[in-house]
A and B are shown apart, each in its own frame.
Chain A
């Protein structure tokens, strides 16, 4: 006979508003094995936990049920509470009568009946619970940062400053990311490069930071604290140890290619660094465009290189390293507006995006900072800005707000006014959203002092008329159609996830949302963690973010990684799969199905028919197992069971509710 205690939480009025908690507690007393039940305003609070501890002592409880919120919220809290009362923390069940009940049911009578059922279910399961033990594992005190933009650099600097070695893997030839492309930053208008490049240099010179540029993460194995990561160092065709970054090669290279860094508005060579302040400031050869790789002729760079660093024979190199924590900071892409027929499908050269505009106003950009339209290099007098291109548009784009466009468009309009005397800016907008320190003031200044004309409404059509672009839209505040003759149109394209974000998420085993942004473990309480222990998120790979937010999140992710790396041993969860070796036939179906590679075969020896015989069975690596339960359903003999969620425990729940 078990002695079960049931504790029903009011959660203020969150639960008590739609569930008669006192009745739930009263009914719970009648369930088999329940010897004590009570209700309390906030079970998770200090006095609430004391209620549980006192009852355990007073009523000699050996099983505890708390009916409150989601286990995602407070299961760890109550497990700790049991532990401090001297009980095994796994002799505990949580009935979720908030998210699963009070929040979704308006009817108090029906809600109460359902809450009673949910508690009955938990009380039936808890009787079948067995004490479980956590195991502990060692930690590799090194961090990997994937993506070397401002977020990645900040994470690396913070972790490195705490004394742990960090590797930044960056797929481009240089770190710096999107921020390196940007000219000025809102709301202070300080120069992006002036605040970014010192950080890039700090990262490259930090004794604890290793930068692997032009490299990608190929494979991730292992688990929190002990990841085995295979990194592909793409063939750079330049020997990093010999190259001094003198620049002779790219000066001599005869092949000109559109520069990705300049958004195709400028040219680079086939052997190149993306921009002069690149870190590492050593070139790569773009093998697709290089004449030597195309037809075997040329090789001029090799001839002129004073240190003999150019190596056409170089191959991709795979290295495998151990890390304890991973921070993902792979950033974002710009929405491709070619789905918008009304904006010319991306075919008008003078309809450009925000990032193109950044390159046009950048002093080191293709126009030396002079705003010239791409088609005929004339200086535009009238510039139209269109916001929410791809954002907040469920039909053609993304449902979310990209958060940065209102501010950078205001910044662009300010810069147009400053750089082109007598110019005029028009800004088509849906709303102006400026939730940030100094943001609203900046927007006000743009509209009032910098004379940008804000027009509330969507643009319905952009078309070419002579050398002008006609922008037709509606001013919804005065309810009249407007048409503006513009020299250049700048679209505030949405921030979207990297096109390969889904692949990386699957490599890492983290989840991602419908828009391919990586999903945090909890939107409020665990914003930089993922559901995969040891993997953290920073910057715009998790959702649209501006620079201050990315840097703040980077600091948060770094502190989480540091917290992990500063432990010597780490406890792993006890909710793992378990093999009943006596029934396991060793078919190993479970091995192929395990997404975490946690199952392997092992040979056991046993007495069969009077002699010793060897037999193969499955074995679960308790550190690798994430408790997903996939193997338990694959095992037809049912000899795999998820501890804490065994077949017997689940069936007890089903019977409590259905029979």
Chain B
């Protein structure tokens, strides 16, 4: 049982003093939500769980431990591991300061529409897990459980292609309608492992080109700017879309940028390894310069 394994692993690390904190998941208020937990004592290890509802990408929490003295242990699924790679590449986390416990993942479930029956098996996978290309962690110190097979995910750009086929006015109407619903809660930004600036441009004072009003114009500016700021660095964990309380299809924008980048600079998947640099983060002599 995986939950026993993670509890044992966490307990051992804390007992030996190898790490000062373990970041994992615990059972939430309801049976269908498991929430992040931060434990620093061996006896707390029994709070840890790994079930069908551990969707939260834990990598982002490492930013709060940037100045920690000791090591931090984190449980990582495939998507979480890519997020860790992102943070290491962005120089926000040092590899030697984290202990990564990998967990192969078959996908997380959606919360039920009604809470009466506890039929976990009947629940659909989360949208972000349906198109998951990395169920196994790409970076870890120990791996708990056996790697799971990669399932067929089809063309992940199908949604983008459908949007590309629309006319300009149609696209504007489509996104205008969606962005007018945005409530500017910034959950998408807060959860994103690529959003790791010290001060977000949208929180800064005195940048008069980024308005804070909640109206269509400013919402469009915010959503497009957010997407552009993670361009080339998005690891496609899909957390932004999952946490959006208004259900905006944010991955459509991220994937459009990824598709464009792939077409311009060759295929690139962010966060798969530590060596490959993001296409927009390097200068190559053979970069296309069609505009010149």
Contact = CB atoms under 8 A, between A and B. Distances in A.
Interface of A: 506, 582-589, 592-595, 601, 608-609, 611, 613, 616, 630, 634, 636-638, 647, 651
B281 A592 contact: yes
Nearest to B225: A636
A586 B198 CA distance: 9
B209 A651 contact: yes
Contacts of B285: 506
B67 A587 contact: no
B121 interface: no
B281 A593 contact: yes
Contacts of B277: 592
A638 B198 contact: no
Given A593-B283, A638-B207, A651-B209, A585 B198 contact: yes
30 contacts: A506-B285, A582-B199, A583-B197, A583-B198, A583-B199, A584-B198, A585-B196, A587-B91, A587-B196, A589-B90, A589-B278, A589-B280, A589-B281, A592-B277, A592-B281, A592-B282, A593-B280, A593-B282, A594-B283, A608-B67, A611-B67, A616-B91, A636-B197, A636-B201, A637-B197, A637-B198, A637-B200, A638-B201, A647-B207, A651-B208
Nearest to B198: A585
A584 B230 CA distance: 16
A638 B207 CA distance: 10
Interface residues of B, number: 24
A235 B198 CA distance: 52
B229 interface: yes
Nearest to B231: A636
A585 B91 contact: yes
A586 B91 contact: yes
A570 B235 CA distance: 46
Contacts of A630: 283
**In the A-B complex, the 5 residue pairs with the closest CB atoms:** A636-B229, A592-B282, A589-B281, A637-B197, A587-B90
Contacts of A613: 67
B40 interface: no
Nearest to B87: A587
A588 B233 CA distance: 13
Given A583-B198, A585-B197, 20 more contacts: A506-B285, A582-B198, A583-B197, A583-B204, A585-B90, A585-B196, A589-B278, A592-B277, A592-B281, A592-B282, A594-B283, A595-B283, A601-B91, A608-B67, A609-B67, A630-B283, A636-B197, A638-B201, A638-B207, A651-B208
B201 A637 contact: yes
Chain A CB within 10 Å, residue with most, of B204, B208, B283, B285: B283
Contact of B283 (A588, A592, A608, A616): A592
Nearest to A637: B197
B190 interface: no
B92 interface: yes
Contacts of B283: 592-595, 630
B117 to A, nearest CB: 45
A511 B25 CA distance: 56
A11 B207 CA distance: 39
A20 B285 CA distance: 46
Contact of B92 (A587, A589, A592, A609): A587
A636 B198 CA distance: 11
Contacts of B200: 637
A634 to B, nearest CB: 7
B92 A585 contact: yes
Contacts of B67: 608-609, 611, 613
Contacts of B209: 647, 651
A630 B228 CA distance: 16
Contacts of A636: 197, 201, 228-230
Nearest to B210: A638
B91 A588 contact: yes
B199 to A, nearest CB: 5
B199 A637 contact: yes
Contacts of B91: 585-588, 601, 616
A610 to B, nearest CB: 10
A647 B208 CA distance: 10
A593 B229 CA distance: 15
Interface in B203-219: 204, 207-209
A500 to B, nearest CB: 13
Chain A CB within 10 Å, residue with most, of B91, B201, B230, B282: B91
Contacts of A651: 208-209
Contacts of A594: 283
Nearest to A590: B281
Interface string B263-292: 000000000000001101111010000000
A583 B197 CA distance: 8
Contacts of B197: 583, 585, 636-637
A147 B198 CA distance: 50
A339 to B, nearest CB: 25
A502 to B, nearest CB: 9
A616 B198 CA distance: 12
A53 to B, nearest CB: 35
B196 A634 contact: no
Nearest to A650: B209
Nearest to A506: B285
A340 B285 CA distance: 32
Nearest to A612: B67
A634 B90 CA distance: 13
A634 B201 contact: no
Contacts of B281: 589, 592-593, 634
Contacts of A583: 197-199, 204
Chain B CB within 10 Å, residue with most, of A616, A634, A636: A636
Interface string B25-68: 00000000000000000000000000000000000000000010
Contacts of A637: 197-201
A616 B90 CA distance: 11
Contacts of A647: 207, 209
Nearest to B67: A613
B160 to A, nearest CB: 22
A582 B92 CA distance: 15
Contacts of A585: 90-92, 196-198
A583 B208 CA distance: 17
